[in-house]
Structure 1
Amino acid sequence: MLVIDRFEGEYALIEYRRRIFHIPKMLVPKGVKPGDVINIQIKVDQEATERRKKSIDQLANEVFSE
């Protein structure tokens, strides 16, 4: 269970299994308050990953072809 512990500056402090994690406020829903239970989902953006890989490969080819 992820619980909003408090806010400090630009961070929301999230408690999870008796540990505190600092997450930028802009990543938590507006209106959350200390004591609220939240869910966080992390997933891979396959399309963005592929675009990034192609961009890096292109740069590498330019650098090493000279």
Structure 2
Amino acid sequence: MFVLDRIEGDWAMVEYGKTMLQLPKTLLPENAKEGDILQIHISVNKEQTNNRKERLEEKARRLFD
């Protein structure tokens, strides 16, 4: 369970079990307030991952060719 503990400037302090996470406040819904339970979904964007990998491989090729 992710609990919005507090907001400090541009950062949201989120409690996750015994761990405190610091997230950019811009990731929160506009109406989020202290004590709210947050639902967080994380997924892999395979298309962007592959694009990044290709760009890095191209840079490495240019460096070593």
CA distance in 2, matches of 1:16, 1:60: 39
Alignment match, 1:10: 10
Unaligned runs of 5+ in 1: none
For residues 1-66 of structure 1, the aligned pairs below 5 Å read: 1-65=1-65
Query: Which aligned segments of 4 or more residues in structure 1 are displaced greater than 3 angstroms?
Result: none
Identity over aligned residues, as a percent?
38
Cα deviation, 1:7-63, whole Å, max 9, x if unaligned, reads: 111111111113321111011111100011111111111000100011111111111
Stretch deviating more after TM superposition (38-47 or 12-21): 12-21
**Structure 1-normalised TM-score?**
0.90
Of 54-63 and 13-22, the range deviating more from structure 2:
13-22
**Distance in 1 between the 2:60 and 2:10 partners?**
37
The alignment's C-alpha RMSD in Å is 1.0
